[in-house]
Chain A
Amino acid sequence: MWFRVTFFVLSISLLSGQQAGVSVSPAAVALRVGESRTFTAAGLGSNTATAVRWTATAGTISAAGQFTAPAAVPVGGTVTVRATLAADATKTATAVVTLQNAKPVINALAPAAVNTGLAYTLRIRGTNFMPTSAVRLAGKPAKPRFLNSTELEVTATADNPAGNAIDVVVLNPDPGGAASNVRALAVNPAVKVTVSPATATVRGGATLKLYAAVANTVATVVDWHVNGIAGGNAEVGRIDATGLYTAPAAVPAAGKVEVKAVSRLDARAFGLATINLLSPVPVLSSATPTSVKIGPAATLFTLNGSLFTPASKVLLGSLEAKVTFVSTTQLRATATLAPVAGQMTTVRVVNPAPGGGESAPLVVRLENAQQLMSYGAAVRFLEQASYGAHPEAIAKLQATGRAAWLAEQFRLPVTPLPDAVPPAPNMGNEGLGRLRTTWIQNALNAPDQLRHRVAFALHSILVVSGVDLSEHRQYVPYLRILHEEAFGNYRRLLERITLNPAMGRYLNMMNNAKANPARNTVANENYARELLQLFTIGLVQLNPDGTPKAGSPATFTPANIPEMAKVFTGWTSAPQNGAAPRFRAPDNWAAPMIPIEAEHDTTAKAILPGVTLPAGQMAQQDLSAALDAIFNHPNVGPFVSYRLIQRLVTSNPSPAYVERVARVFNSNSSGLRGDLKEVVTAILTDPEAGTGDGAYSELSAGQGALREPLALTLNLIRALDMRSNGALAGTLIGLGQNLFSPNSVFSYFSPFSKPGPEFQALNATSALNTVNLIYRFTSNSTGSAAVFDLTPWDQLAADPDALITAAANALNRGTLPAGARSAIVAAVNAQTSRRMKAITALYLVGVSPQVLVKR
């Protein structure tokens, strides 16, 4: 609102000087500078103007008498205007013009508005301003700075509340002192700054554009600060004049920063934004070394990339390295690497939460540093001598070599098997379930790997089946004998097995009575026949190399069997709890059977061609003599050697291989017959086993063995470093092998089956189950039977070629035919996730016949 100010206009009298009869009108007048006035003259004898000559002491006057005042008031403040008759210069008259200052006029204010309470500098634009002009702001005098006659500048503080305009008036001084028009200067509310977004989340290294809205003024320039620091810095992030914020790589402890936009017009006016900072996703562009020899020493890696932070972690597979932060583009990491399945790991950088994330992985190839034998040879050896090539076992074997490995295995104590849990009242005896599970767990984890392997091979020859011996307490003493005698002597093993009550029950030697003419019964032939046919000499006379002699002459005649059966009469369970020994004693599964002489057939016995036991021998005498005769039969060496070679190494060993091993069986380094330790050594170190580096790649086309389901399964678990609860017996049945319960004394497979024994169990059902099993294993979907961390494989899947190589390393000694590799590459590349790529590679390598067949 304007309100009027009264100006005092000073009247200036212009006194006229005149001669009598002559006058100028008006005689006195007041004029403002620059104003005009026309004068007339009278009494000079002429009424025509042209007859008069006009002059003025200042300003200008026209011939017609129009006077224009000068621009400034002259000294004295007056101007004399004189009229002189042209015709008579003596005739003159004057008028006095009193001069006054001009009246100022305001045309514009800049700015047109100010903010309440805020100091301001106002530019007043108009006319007639004088160096001595004064200004009133809302009625209060203010001292302007004179710039020129059209511009004044004044500095003040806007005391008015918003909405109450400030009236601006310019005052010119006397003479004629005059006030200008009133101009209203608007008063706005205080300046306000708002930043948007008010809160935001940014990953380290990323940018965020912030906007400052400045209200109540047209002066919208702001200055940006981060945590109070103008423009920010490396620790808190930087912000430029446009509000573009770049987050720091490392998240400050607070996890957030405050960004402030301050009005440059009014420093008290600012807006804030809170920016939550997340760790960046690091970028790893290279890592050296790319190939590492694993030994006891740690490996130093140099990692180059970007967005590393002091909190960045470095993972090698799933192993966390010790990290030195060099810069946001370089880290150093040290780690002591352990062998891993596939001999390949990955390195990646992980930034911690908040935010954070991991870089793409880079592949690091691993190799065991100490190598007395090659990786491939070590894996092959372990597939023959253990239940699978666990990564640690490979490293150890490579470091120690076969001889030291075997020596240690021979020294290791027997991993014990548990006794049966006594049955609860009115409950049956414990079955074989826990025994199977425990045995599998031991086979997977126990250090005496070779013993397990050999014991199972012996079980496959000297069969007792859970089909008939279905109780833990019956079965476990039998198994213990196999484990205890695995590296012992075959003669001693034969005797212990012969007198084992489970075998006694299985093949009916227990409680086998001599012939009873009154009942028309004769001795049970079962054990006699199978001992000869399946455990020792077979049906056909063999050459030392295991081939049948010309014409396949029989080892014994049908007539020998009833005679041999008489040897095995009179044996029964050992007495318990102080009871007297008696025939058909209560079962005593833990102790060897004992003889009851009254039930032993003491007649002479023509047990083998050319071998007759004399009449009158006691049971143990007959037993010892019969077992000696059998054990010393020339067939035993090649017979047992052939079967052990099949179980451990190859389905169709060459006659020369059999003969080399049989020769050791026949006479070890000390001249002793039947030493299984040296037989096993001979089998595993034979050139035909292919476990020496020299012969490593020289297997012939026919060599190898289809893995039996037990070995296939356990090997997969160990090779992929899986954990297992051992509950695999049901799975094995599906694959065609009922652990500890082969169908008959003919065992799981016939040694004569072609193309190899284990093919007997490979049919459509077991083939389907095998394929499915490998899928379930490699996709880690068994629950708890075979569990592993697929994550390292996911990481490798970033590089499909490395992934497939790693799968082949883990499962197939690092070899994979080109045709298989290209097929698998295509399948892996068709998968849409790293996980499915990893599973696909492991599955297809695992199911390839090169893996199913141990070679």
Chain B
Amino acid sequence: MVMGLGAAGALGQLGGINALAQTNAPGYKALVCVFLFGGCDANSVVIPTDNAGYTAYTNVRRTIAIPQSQLLPATSQGSATYGLPPAMPGLQSLFQTGKAAVVANVGTLVRPLTRAQYQANQQPVPANLFSHSDQQQQWQSATPIGIAQSGWAGRIADQVQTLNQPSKFPTAVSVNGNSLFLIGQQTQPSQIASPNLAVLDQQKRAGDGERLNALQQVLTLASGATLVQAAGTRINDSLTVLRQASDAFATLPNLTTPFPTTALGNQLRQIVRLMQIRDTVGLQRQIFFCSQGGYDTHENQPGAHPRLLTELSEAIAAFQLAMEELGLSEKVTLFTESEFSRTFQPNASNGTDHAWGGHQVVTGGAVRGGFYGTYPSMVLGGADDSGSRGNWIPSTSLDQYGATLARWFGVPEAGLSTVFPNLGNFATANLGFLKA
């Protein structure tokens, strides 16, 4: 069956890039963002296991609390110990081998903020808190106020682009839809969701080559109309990248680590493939975006949340094994994001509602395993609550979390404030959860 005629050819100039890339291969690094859409209830991911902490937890959570005996021991800070829900043995194993860290109560901030300041409206705060769309954009852009045109990973890609030259292959790739996260000020991401690209260079019959040429011309014609131009350019660039990836996938090395055949498992498996072609496409730095949806658990959270966390945990564990198989464990760091956490206090539907600061997880061989940041006080209306239901005001900003990753990735000190314009508002730019 003829499957259409996608990207044009003329990509034969890659040979030179290969040789160059391989000589620099030891410097390879990659960042992998797993975005948990819907607002993951972090209160149900990192749970106090010491008696005092667990009591505070269960006093509020009541209807949706996980029994203390079922929690999986994971990490500690001082005398406080923390566990994972029973759905996450895979992630637990990474904590046990020191390849996972939790960063507690991270969120969008303009500058450090107290409950009093928030309630008195004395400090700038991120726009449209508790709104999915706005908080997703802010987590991806590190732009808490105003309309963002680029994402912080895109700006990291801008900062490291000299390491990837002269490759034309995008540094930043999403394997599941478009995201603001990867859009740079100079560099553009792409999206490569499937190993089966069927890029269809059917230059077999008479006239096929001419049709491909015409396609490219039609797509890149200067039309003077903004949206027409944007659509044509995006499609043409996409086809070009896919063609390049498709060619590279043709000689994909084997991978023996099994991946769960879940949506997230498939995405991380695809990310591994894109790492495996790094030399072919000539990249020393890669940034990936994948995601998992369904975390907006307003209702029946005890039913829905464990299924989501199982998928997350299994996929991350498989990914780490794959990195070890490929010898990339020290070079690749995976981290989670989510637009917000959820109210500590449940609602009437056995669910939780939109909140603010939450706990994130970082995994990989470069991670200094353990607990970072400050766990919230778990008091409704207390010092950490922006309101009355346990809407934790973040004690660590997204900027600090991201900057720690960016520094490890190779963004120079001077570039960090370009990537995170508000970074200077916070005490430290390095949370220390990654090895130097």
Q: B197 to chain A: which residues have CB within 8 Å?
A: 768
A840 to B235, Cβ gap below 8 A?
no
B231 to A520, Cβ gap below 8 A?
no
Q: A308–B263 Cα gap in the complex (Å)?
A: 66
B351 to A827, Cβ gap below 8 A?
no
Q: A539–B239 Cα gap in the complex (Å)?
A: 38
| 0/1 interface trace, chain A 682-709, chain B, CB 8 Å (1 if under) | 0000000000000000010111111000
Within 8 Å by CB of A524, from B238, B348, B391, lies: B348
Known interface pairs A763-B178, A763-B238, A768-B198; A704-B228 also in contact (CB < 8 Å)? yes
Main SS class of interface, B? loop
Q: Which of B308-366 contact A (CB under 8 A)?
A: 345-349, 351, 353-354
Known interface pairs A521-B63, A743-B293, A827-B211; A765-B192 also in contact (CB < 8 Å)? yes
Is A247 interfacial (CB 8 A cutoff)?
A: no
Within 8 Å by CB of A508, from B62, B130, B238, B351, lies: B351
A511 to B349, Cβ gap below 8 A?
yes
B228 to A855, Cβ gap below 8 A?
yes
Min Cβ gap A530→B in Å is 9
| 0/1 interface trace, chain B 287-308, chain A, CB 8 Å (1 if under) | 0000001101011000000000
Is A74 interfacial (CB 8 A cutoff)?
A: no
Known interface pairs A516-B348, A760-B178; A853-B231 also in contact (CB < 8 Å)? yes
Is A847 interfacial (CB 8 A cutoff)?
A: yes
Is B428 interfacial (CB 8 A cutoff)?
A: no
Q: Which of A514, A744, A760, A776 has the most CB of B within 10 A?
A: A744
A529 to B130, Cβ gap below 8 A?
yes
A521 closest partner in B (C-beta): B348
Q: A743 to chain B: which residues have CB within 8 Å?
A: 37, 293
B353 to A765, Cβ gap below 8 A?
no
A772 to B227, Cβ gap below 8 A?
no
Is A73 interfacial (CB 8 A cutoff)?
A: no
Bin chain A's interface residue count: 35 or more
Min Cβ gap A807→B in Å is 12
Q: A438–B220 Cα gap in the complex (Å)?
A: 37
A763 to B207, Cβ gap below 8 A?
no
A847 to B298, Cβ gap below 8 A?
no
Q: B391 to chain A: which residues have CB within 8 Å?
A: 558
Q: Which of A767, A781, A832 has the most CB of B within 10 A?
A: A767
Q: Which of B229-267 contact A (CB under 8 A)?
A: 229-232, 234-235, 238-239, 241-242
| 0/1 interface trace, chain B 162-202, chain A, CB 8 Å (1 if under) | 00000000000010011000000000001111100111100
Min Cβ gap A813→B in Å is 13
Is B129 interfacial (CB 8 A cutoff)?
A: yes
Q: A777–B5 Cα gap in the complex (Å)?
A: 13
A823 to B213, Cβ gap below 8 A?
yes
Known interface pairs A558-B130, A750-B133, A849-B232; A521-B217 also in contact (CB < 8 Å)? no
| 0/1 interface trace, chain B 55-92, chain A, CB 8 Å (1 if under) | 00001101100000000000000000000000000000
Q: Which of A512-530 contact B (CB under 8 A)?
A: 512-516, 519-526, 529
Q: A529–B214 Cα gap in the complex (Å)?
A: 49
Q: A703–B228 Cα gap in the complex (Å)?
A: 10
Within 8 Å by CB of A744, from B37, B60, B214, lies: B37
Is B1 interfacial (CB 8 A cutoff)?
A: yes
Q: A554 to chain B: which residues have CB within 8 Å?
A: 128
| 0/1 interface trace, chain B 1-21, chain A, CB 8 Å (1 if under) | 111111100000000000000
A539 to B198, Cβ gap below 8 A?
no
Q: Which of A749-777 contact B (CB under 8 A)?
A: 750, 752, 754-756, 759-765, 767-768, 770-776
The 5 A-B residue pairs with the shortest CB-CB distance, nearest first, are: A775-B4, A772-B4, A849-B232, A763-B191, A830-B210
Task: Using CB atoms and an 8 Å cutoff, list the residues of chain B in contact with chain A.
Answer: 1-7, 37-38, 59-60, 62-63, 127-134, 147, 149, 174, 177-178, 190-194, 197-200, 205-207, 209-211, 213-215, 217-219, 221-232, 234-235, 238-239, 241-242, 293-294, 296, 298-299, 345-349, 351, 353-354, 386-389, 391
22 A-B contacts (beta carbon < 8 Å): A522-B345, A524-B349, A525-B347, A526-B298, A561-B130, A562-B387, A562-B388, A702-B225, A706-B231, A744-B293, A763-B191, A764-B191, A771-B239, A817-B221, A823-B213, A823-B221, A826-B213, A836-B207, A844-B218, A847-B219, A849-B228, A850-B228
Task: Using CB atoms and an 8 Å cutoff, list the residues of chain A in contact with chain B.
Answer: 467, 507-508, 511-516, 519-526, 529, 533, 539-540, 552, 554, 558-559, 561-562, 565, 569, 651, 699, 701-706, 736, 743-746, 750, 752, 754-756, 759-765, 767-768, 770-776, 779, 781, 817, 819-820, 823-824, 826-827, 830-832, 836, 840, 843-844, 847-850, 852-853, 855
